[in-house]
Amino acid sequence: MLKYRIILFFALVVIAIGDINSQSTIVVLGSSTAAGTGPSHIDSSWVNRYTKYVKSLDEQNKVINLAKGGYTTFHILPSGTSTPNNRPNPDSNRNITKAISYYPDAIIINLPSNDAASEYSVSSQLENYNQVLQKANIANIPVWISTPQGRNLSYSGKQNLLEMRDSTIIRYGEQAIDFWTYIGQSNGSLNTLYSSGDGVHLNDKGHKILFNRVVEKNILDIISVVEDVKNDEFDIVVYPNPTNDYVYFDCNNKNVISSLIIFDSSGREVVNMKNVNHTKSHSIDLKHLNTGAFYVKLIVDGKIRFKKLMKVK
């Protein structure tokens, strides 16, 4: 029964969303690993492997790679963001603002170790990610963030990497991509089996592991199911997203939410609120839900709309 319930649920999602173009666009933000440094040939880099993979599923699928060697979380901040002294300014050609300008279905961020090498604190890295995610959430674009990868740095630098690894997994849950296991060692350094020889970048084997980790996240399947209609018909804002406790649904006084149901990734109902009839901001307590992806079914002015919602710890 569960199998058929899941199939029915996702079928209803597709029907409700309507006839959506099958083409998917994914933008990659990052530094040298994402840019393709390390492997014997650029085609063996994880991004180029992933590009070939998504195009094998549909020739119209696109991966736009904005990564550049040496980049940090400061470089990908929204355009116009003021950064502290001695910190890089956002690159308007390779940051979250530029990524959003392509109207992508998803964004992947891979910034492995330059922040730690530059001695930027974990708290500043996480705050930068918060600003990046806020910008993406406003545009209703899901973001996957990789952990760091291990690097032969000083003791404090390697501790920074380890703390950032744990913080990424805890904060972003299903939206975090594990680029550490096998790649990074318990002391924070890079596993020599996957090093290109400089203790920083990955060889062909290392990039293949990263490619497999990205494929395992099933990003294309997720965005094909929960992709929003690209218009402002309902003018609904869902925030914060990701959230760790409460989530707010704001209609900006223009529309009426009459029903709100939240499903988990298996299609099971976890919240059911009928006869809501709210036109202003409405909040829901999600503390009882586990970390992961959820799908919100909204009936607004008699029409069905689906939104994706991420719950983090």
- At residue 176, the pLDDT reads 94
| Buried-state track 8-40, b at ≥16 Cβ within 10 A, e below 16 | ebbeebeeebeeeeeebbbbbbbbbbbbbbbbe
Tens of pLDDT along the chain (313 residues)?
A: 555 555 555 555 544 444 334 589 999 999 999 999 999 999 999 999 999 999 999 999 999 999 999 999 999 999 999 999 999 999 999 999 999 999 999 999 999 999 999 999 999 999 999 999 999 988 878 899 999 999 999 999 999 999 999 999 999 888 899 999 999 999 999 999 999 999 999 999 999 999 999 999 988 877 765 444 334 455 567 778 788 888 877 766 566 777 888 887 666 788 888 777 665 667 888 888 888 888 888 777 777 777 778 887 6
- At residue 232, the pLDDT reads 43
Adjacency order of strands within the sheet including 237-239: 237-239, 246-250, 282-285
Q: Give me 125's structure tokens.
A: 């890295």
- Round to whole Å and give the CA distance between 276 and 132: 32
- At residue 280, the pLDDT reads 60
- At residue 65, the pLDDT reads 98
For the residues of the chain, what is the DSSP string, one character each?
-HHHHHHHHHHHHHHHH-S--S--EEEEEESHHHHT-SSSSGGGSHHHHHHHHHHHH-TT-EEEE---TT--TTTTSPTT----TTSPPP-TTTSHHHHHHT--SEEEEE--SHHHHTT--HHHHHHHHHHHHHHHHHTT--EEEE--------HHHHHHHHHHHHHHHHHHGGGEE---TTTB-TTSPBPGGGB-SSSSSB-HHHHHHHHHHHHHTTHHHHHHHHPPPSS-SS--EEESSSBSSEEEEE-TTTS-EEEEEEEETTS-EEEEEEEEEESS-EEEE-TTSPSEEEEEEEEETTEEEEEEEEE--
- At residue 164, the pLDDT reads 98
Count of CA atoms in the C-beta half-sphere (13 A) of 220: 19
Map tokens 């991420």 to a residue: 310
- At residue 307, the pLDDT reads 76
pTM over 0.75: no
- At residue 21, the pLDDT reads 43
